[in-house]
Structure 1
Amino acid sequence: MLVSYRWLGDYVNLEGMTPDLLAEKITRSGIEVEAVEWKGDGIKGLVVGHVLECEQHPNADKLNKCLVDLGEEEPVQIICGAPNVAKGQKVAVATVGAVLPGNFKIKKAKLRGEVSNGMICSLQEIGFEGKLVPKNYAEGIFVFPGDAETGTDAIEALMLDDAVLELGLTPNRSDCLSMLGVAYEVAAILDREVNLPEALYENSSEKASDYISVKVEDPSANPLYTAKVIKNVKIGPSPLWMQTKLMNAGIRPHNNVVDVTNFCMLEYGQPLHAFDYDAFGSSEIVVRKAFQDEAIQTLDDQERTLSERHLVITNGSVPAAVAGVMGGADSEVTDQTTTVLLESAYFDGQTVRQASKDLGLRSESSMRFEKGLDPSRVRLASDRAAALLAAYAGGEVLSGTVEQDSLTIEANNVHVSVEKVNNVLGMSISKEEIVDIFRRLGFSTGEADNVLIVTVPSRRGDITIEEDLIEEVARLYGYDNIPSTLPVISSLSTTGLTPYQANRRKVRRFLEGAGLSQAITYSLTNERKVEAFALQKSYQTKLSMPMSEERSILRHSLLPHLADTAAYNLARQADSVALYEVGSVYLSEEEGAKPVEKEHVAGLVTGLWHKQLWQGEKKAADFYVIKGITEGLFSKLDVLDEIEYVQANKKDLHPGRTAEIYFRKKSIGFVGQLHPSYEKELDLNETYVFELDLNALLTVETGGLLYTTIPRYPSVTRDIALVVDQTISSGQLEKVISETGGTLLKEVKVFDVYEGEHVEAGKKSIAFSLTYLNPEQTLTEEEVTNIHQNVLNTLEETYQAKLRH
């Protein structure tokens, strides 16, 4: 909702309130002001000019030489290229030295040999959006009404000295979809009165009931329909003040009749519609449900097909409007209109919403009906529009209003106690203060048995229960005045993180320190992705009413969406991506059973892992980078010694670059490269991933941190190169070496793997470096030789390993 500060001042005294200060107060009371736009910001030197003479430029076909009175001693010559400039017009002139939007400064210039002392402006050139400019002036300069005073400030005349507050309304505050609704809100905040507009006009001796009748066939969809008839209307532009208010509110002016209906809709929040009575086609209004496949051409010149769910306004035979949404083109007000049939009605919001949704047609009118109207304003808005049509279109309002009324407006009484208000808010507000807040809001208050009985006006349809009243008290009393308190705890020993939380924090900090960025992806996925990368088999948990098929099943793995995120970034030229996510997966052991939520951690790297371009260094991410990240993580959690990597073959992962990870002999995840076909599907480069079961990793007890003394005695290193079958992994050999080497064997490392012409077919050579150390004394050659030989003998017995010579 766009709210003009100057227009708002017509209804409530804003003395002492700047637009920015008012915006802050409104926001603090619960309605967010998303922006404050100063319409004339940066504009100066704009005056109303009177074109005394206008002739074609002697040296240019598309330019005009104008003599313009600016209210000074002598008129000035201005060269203008607008096609609609003419003698006798009152126009907006940017004088020499003026500044227009975009810091565009006006200077004295010479155009094709003729001097130009300023610029005659269009509305677009002084800051109005093109879509809001009246069609008559869309392709040329703007022309003021003839009574505009020459030499006066055009900024003020065009309401460019105004500020527009953009309200971000929540669905429950539909009362503020009108200037009066906002006025009531501001009046409550500032504790001031609301000045209601007058709706005074003289009735003609003729009766409206002699010209029109109203019949409503579905009172539940249209409990109140009113019609007025205004004769002898003269179509023309609406007054300038009305046009500028409409433009500042985001609505394009059309003519005096249409502008009046739009103005009253913005003022009261009640949509109105004006039909051309002579084009309506009958003296009968029938409101009914449309026939199946019935057609209507709406005001946007689109042919629309209706269904039995849509409510239409007809002339007894054919539709003239879709109720609450848009009028029909056949009976719209044109320049030839002389008699106006004015509709003001209360339509069921759900019925209007259904039609708006089915037809793909959302209007200012339908939006208001959908969110809810104040039923007491239906007749008030109609009277206000009739008065304005009489004043600014020369209309004669026929006496009486023709209507069909089955609408019951009942007082909404809500009960609340002072004790309940204070218990909910955690405050101590007196009864007098609470009653005063209700007074400021325009709610009347009574009392019985220490309970306040609050009568809520119909404009506040959002207030139905006591909690709504408590919210009103809180926001008007001031959220800033609600005291802050700390929870009372019995012992400081109960505070702090649990061991699981502390370890999870370690996981996040380590991965971020390793260069990965945290990602948060959807917990919902689709049928195609739900089984991918799952650590364990699970039945699917499907939503009964998903928003879309892409988000219809609870995920079993974090990696599918993490891979999608990497693809999204790569598609936007982020060629190196490193991501991790700590999140939940949802696993079910039985069909239809409630899923168990488990926390996993997953990571992904692709592109360059390390680069120093000035040194010519580049290192692409590979299997050992991602494996190193997991090893660092296990080391941080003090469980690395209990981790085992075993070559694995998993779906959607590279068959030769994947390892399953075991912790205490139980599988807790995997590390590897995405399968090339999966990478191709997502248009990814080589991408390496891991996923771990955090619940299994962080819920087990681990030993405390052990410190060892720095060795006082030298270590002994022996290298061995073993020839084994290609099916035997280095991990299998390393396990045998570590178990056989005993306490003196401190470290085993693989430093070479070779397959080629110097090794027989079906075999490979794996080279290990073994480090022996006795912390109590210097090792002798004999001790090392005996242990080393025992290791070799065990390898030969277990895997037929031979030393390579």
Structure 2
Amino acid sequence: MLVSLKWLKEYVDINLDAKTFGDKMTMTGTKTETVEYYGEEISNVVVGKIMRIEKHPDADKLVITKVDVGAENLVQIVTGAKNVKENDYIPVALDGAILPGGITIKSGKLRGIDSNGMLCSAKELGIDEKYIEDYKKNGIYILDMEDSYEVGKDIKAVLGLNDAVIDFELTSNRPDCKCMLGIAREAAVTLNEKIKYPEISVKEESEKNIDVEVSIENPELCSGYLARRVTDVVIEKSPYWMQRRLVESGVRPINNIVDITNYVMLETGQPMHAFDMREIGNNKIVVKNANEGDMFVTLDGQERKLDADTLMITNGAKYLGVAGVMGGEESEIKDDTTEIMLESALFNPENIRKTSKKLGLRTEASSRFEKPIAQTTAEMALERAAQLIELLGAGKVMKGVVDNRTNEAKKQTITVSPRRINARLGIELSMDEFCDILRSLEFVCDLKSEDELHLEVPYFRLDIEQEADIFEEIARIYGFENLPSIQLQGNTTAGVRTDKQKFLDGVKSAAISCGLYESLTYSFVSPRGLDKIRVPQDSRLRNVVKLLNPLGEDTSIMRSTLIPNMLDVIYTNSSRNIDEVGLFESGHVFTPEEMAGVEETRLCIGMYGKKVDFFTLKGVVEKIFERNGLKGQKYILESANTTFHPGRCANIVVGDKKIATLGEIHPEVLNNYGINKRVYVAEIDIDTVYSLADNTIVFKPLPKFPAVTRDIALLVKSDVEAGDIDEIIMSNGQGIVETCKLFDVYRGEQIGKGYKSIAYSIVYRSLEKTLTDIDVAPVHEKILTELENKLGAKLREQ
């Protein structure tokens, strides 16, 4: 928030330099970022009046001016400027003057003629030309003729260049400070001064009544709409003092009406808008949602596509502006505008934030409407704008105010315990001292008992909701630096990781050892993610935790699964032409569970690549389980999970507990993400795995005897699961089967329809002796027999 110190002094007596004042404001919670001094380098530059202009005898492009600077004699200055004429008031840099950048002006001769100074342009005075009228940019800065000037007066005082602009960093919970009055309130309490509010009264000059009807179709998005009507409007530039204040606040002056609405916004914090009554036409305002897909041209000349959530200001038939964001090009104030309507409205902050983000249009208005605004502020701003229009002769205010509000403002009250505040802050303030601080912040205090203080919260402090907020107010005004510093007492202990944290570290380590890279994503996500992965409407995953005040729709819920996040990351990688990717993410998922809130720890793995298939993913999952003490898991075919490809998905269970789901992502899901590769994903319930894992470390001697390896290729029906084959092999190993690993699956014409070839490598080893074929053969035959009896598996003929 850029604040002109000169402007601020109209509301509060400040007898400090800008830096000292900024430091004091920082100590009470309004942090000063920077202080910029306008005109600090300028000296010996004054107002001059051109009395005569003569031709230069030896230069066609130069003229000789005689300038009155308040001295006994006129000053002769030679210039090449083409835009000056007699009786113009201009800035004059006299002999010895210093300009921004350290430029020193000296008397001298130009083509043989004495020149005792320089006529200055806006740029030479350090004035940003983007904020001034075009005719002032080319050549000498001509002071406005309608204003009277004292020749010889310091130009810094005349142009407001003897000012300091302070940039305050405002916290998100203090939108009331995003205006001059908000900063003035903080300055008053910081300096123990009284704030001087502007005296607002409106002189309704026109005999005509306002005669404007306002209807609000969506009161959830617009809780109030106030309007005044002004006739006999004269469009011209606003006075220099107003333009200067707008410029110092980072706002470009346009014309008197627009400048007044912007000025009031900067002063009160209430964004306003002025409509040309010719565009309203039927004297009717309807606040309603746009139609999906409609187009609208905003004030910046850009055509923007609207959706059904965009709130619009209309005349019932056509759009006039995007509510709370920007007006329309057609209804803007024009040079020939003679009648206007002033709008001061109250919009839903969340909707304004979403609309601004979707349209890619963040304005001074939207940045303020994204936070709640008090009804009293809207009332005051409307009256202030009408007052300024009347004072500046910009028009005549009609009788009456349109006031359509869907609810009445309620006064916020809080009861606090001074004893508890003293105990929490470690201080000893009396009741009178408490009340003095709170009254300086414009709270109304009512003492109910010795330790019960009833407070009425100021209308503009919408952030004050509970006693803890009062603790903070007392602490910052009392002074954080004045709070006692008390050493913590207790034994110093070294922090240690819990067993579960160590387990999760082991899981991550195992994933990394498999060649995976860790990804990190936000826990707050878009509800559209559940649609994109085809989660059924009655699924438990739809029972999400919603954020009360989200940054936008894309971050409006807490995630209930890690899969959408993983697919977002995979899309990012695939769109950058990365051919092979293996990723994992560990994090919490959230479910309301009757609003108590439950956090579950999950691990999600995502892979794609030419050599990646279901069994690649399965191998990674098994390695993670093996490295972290989980045994006895079984794979069960899953065909009902709509996120995964039918028949290429499995649940992993231990006993009756499901611990993971893995498989190939459904083509429709991939299409929703714009991914053109086959993607394999697993989501593991780490909490359940941790409860089932046995992390007891058992040391075994290295095998002394060699292993015997037998490879088998089995012909089985297509619906036979590899997990069933694994179980039969291991359960019939008679203590000498060390491992069995699947290494190939084949389907094709050679196999026949409805069948597949599945190949295993079985490792036999004894801890007591070297195995011979005589030892291995009967066990191997037993395994083959059981496979044929239970699964119909036969050895594939070569």
TM-score class, shorter-chain normalisation, is: 0.5 to 0.7
- 2:567 matched to which residue of 1? 563
Query: What SS does the aligned partner of 1:373 have?
Result: helix
Q: Which residue of 1 aligns with 2:142?
A: 143
**Which amino acid in structure 2 is aligned with residue 38 of structure 1?**
E
1:615 is aligned to none
SS of residue in 1 equivalent to 2:3: strand
Residue ranges of structure 2 left out of the alignment (5+ in a row): 106-114, 216-222, 289-296, 302-311, 789-793
TM-score (norm 2): 0.64
1:656 Cα shift?
8.4
Q: Distance in 1 between matches of 2:535 and 2:329?
A: 54
Q: Which residue of 2 aligns with 1:306?
A: 315
1:1-43 alpha-carbon deviations (Å, 9 max, x no partner):
5322342244435455545x6556546645566x547375998
CA displacement, residues 46-66 of structure 1 (integer Å, 9 cap, x when unaligned): 96796876999x999xxx756
Aligned to 1:611: none
Amino acid at match of 1:583: H
- The answer as to 2:587 corresponding to 1:582 is yes
Which residue does 2:781 correspond to in 1?
A: 793
Q: 1:353, 1:582 → 2: CA distance?
A: 28
Q: Cα–Cα, structure 1 residues 26 and 732, in superposed 2: closer, same or farther, change >3 Å?
A: same
Residue in 2 that maps onto 1:642: 632
Deviations 1:729-783 (A, max 9, x none): 7765554444444344444456678999999997858463625242xx5x25xx5
Change in 2 beyond 3 A, CA 1:458/1:376: farther
Q: Which residue of 1 aligns with 2:165?
A: 163
Task: State yes or no: 1:519 paired with 2:521.
Answer: yes
Amino acid at match of 1:797: T
Matched, 1:475 2:484: no
| d(CA) in 1 for partners of 2:417, 2:565 | 51
Alignment match, 2:308: none
Selected match of 2:376 from 367, 373, 378: 373
Aligned CA distance change for structure 1 residues 288 and 433 (closer, same or farther; 3 Å)? farther
Q: Which residue of structure 2 lines up, in the alignment, with residue 704 of structure 1?
A: 696
User: Structure 1 CA distance, aligned partners of 2:499 and 2:670?
Assistant: 38
What SS class does the counterpart of residue 787 from structure 1 fall into?
helix
Task: Indicate conservation of the 8 Å contact 2:588/2:599, yes or no.
Answer: no
The code of the aligned residue for 2:143 comes to F
Instruction: Report the secondary structure of 1:670's partner residue.
Output: strand
Q: Distance in 2 between matches of 1:726 and 1:671?
A: 23
Q: Is the 8 A contact 1:765 1:804 kept in 2?
A: no
Distance 1:455 1:509 in 2: 57
The one-letter code matched in structure 2 to 1:180 is: L
665, 669, 685: which one aligns with 2:660: 669
Alignment of 1:629 with 2:617, yes or no, is no
Cα shift readout 1:631-685 (whole Å, capped 9, x = no counterpart): 342134211x433457776755467875553434755323344355654552343
CA distance in 2, matches of 1:272, 1:529: 40
Give the % identical residues. 22
Amino acid at match of 1:165: D
Partner of 2:715: 725
Given that 1:526 and 1:549 are in contact with CA atoms closer than 8 Å, whether structure 2 keeps it comes out as no
Asked whether the equivalents of residues 55 and 62 of structure 2 are also in contact (C-alpha less than 8 Å), the reply is yes
CA–CA separation in structure 2 for the residues paired with 1:258 and 1:678: 50
CA distance in 1, matches of 2:236, 2:487: 66
* Shift in alpha-carbon separation, 1:510–1:435, aligned structure 2, 3 A: farther
Task: Single out whichever of 649-658 and 765-774 deviates more from structure 2.
Answer: 649-658
Q: Report SS of the residue matched to 2:517.
A: coil
Could you tell which deviates more after superposition, 510-519 or 649-658?
A: 649-658
CA-to-partner distance for each residue in 1:167-189, whole Å, 9 max, x for gaps?
54657753x45423321211212
1:563 Cα offset (Å): 1.2
Q: How does 1:49-128 map to 2 (within 5 A)?
A: 88=88, 90=90, 121=121, 126=126, 128=128
Q: Which runs of 5+ in 1 are unaligned?
A: 107-115, 201-206, 281-286, 311-321, 608-618
Distance 1:683 1:49, change over 3 A: farther
Are residues 1:133 and 2:123 paired?
A: no
| Alpha-carbon distance in 2 for matches of 1:405, 1:575 | 63
Using the alignment, how far apart are the partners of 2:250 and 2:364 within structure 1?
13
In structure 2, C-alpha distance between the alignment counterparts of 1:94 and 1:789, rounded to whole Å: 112
Contact 1:581 1:602 in 2 (8 A): yes
Separation of aligned partners in 2, 1:154 and 1:438? 40
Aligned twin of 1:770: 763
CA 157–699 in structure 1, closer or farther in 2 if over 3 Å, else same: same
Q: 1:689: how far off?
A: 1.6
Choose 88-97 or 658-667, whichever is displaced more: 88-97
Amino acid at match of 1:558: L
| Aligned mates of 2:484, 2:462 — CA distance in 1 | 30
| AA in 1 matched with 2:765 | Y
1:138-160 deviation per Cα after TM superposition (whole angstroms, max 9, x unaligned): 77764334637679666993538
Which residue in the other structure is 2:294 paired with?
Answer: none
Q: Pick closer, same or farther for the CA change 1:364–1:194 going to 2, 3 Å.
A: same
Give the aligned partner of residue 204 of structure 1. none
Question: Counterpart of 1:247?
Answer: 247
Match of 2:190 in 1: 189
Structure 1 residues 742 and 128: alpha-carbon distance in aligned structure 2, compared to 1, 3 A threshold = farther
Structure 1 position 212 matched with structure 2 position 207: yes
- How far did residue 620 of structure 1 move? 6.5
Secondary structure of 1:185's aligned partner: helix
C-alpha distance in structure 1 between counterparts of 2:226 and 2:542, whole Å: 51
Rounded to whole Å, the distance in 2 between the matches of 1:269 and 1:186 is 16
- Count of residues in Structure 1 that have an aligned counterpart in Structure 2: 721
Q: 1:721 to 1:603 in 2, by over 3 A?
A: closer
Q: Which residue of 1 aligns with 2:421?
A: 421
1:298-447 matches, within 5 Å, as: 305-306=314-315, 349=346, 371-373=374-376, 381=384, 385=388, 389=392, 416-422=416-422, 428-441=428-441, 447=447
Query: How do 1:151-300 residues align onto structure 2 when only pairs under 5 Å count?
Result: 157=159, 159=161, 162-166=164-168, 168=170, 170=172, 173-174=175-176, 176-194=177-195, 212=207, 239-253=239-253, 263=263, 266-267=266-267
CA offset at residue 626 of structure 1? 3.4
* Alignment check: 8 A CA contact 2:12 2:193 kept: yes
Between 407-416 and 516-525, the greater mean CA deviation after superposition: 407-416
Structure 2: distance between partners of 1:751 and 1:327: 66
Q: 1:290 to 1:252 in 2, by over 3 A?
A: same
Cα distance in 2 between the residues matched to 1:329 and 1:737:
79
- Matched AA of 1:192: E
CA pair 715-520 structure 1, distance change in 2 beyond 3 A:
farther
CA 523–696 in structure 1, closer or farther in 2 if over 3 Å, else same: farther
Alignment partners' CA distance in 1, 2:758 and 2:299:
80
Task: Return the alpha-carbon distance in structure 2 between the equivalents of residues 445 and 217 of structure 1.
Answer: 41
Whole-angstrom distance in 2 between the partners of 1:459 and 1:306: 31
Asked if the contact 2:518/2:585 (under 8 Å) is kept, the reply is yes
Which range moves more in the overlay, 41-50 or 517-526? 41-50
Note the C-alpha offset of 1:794: 0.9
Cα pair 2:260 2:385 within 8 Å, conserved: no
In structure 2, C-alpha distance between the alignment counterparts of 1:446 and 1:771, rounded to whole Å: 87
Q: Check the 8 A contact 2:285/2:314 in 1, yes or no.
A: no
Offset at residue 257 of structure 1 (A): 7.8
**Deviation of residue 603 (structure 1)?**
1.7
1:685 aligns to 2:694 (yes or no): no
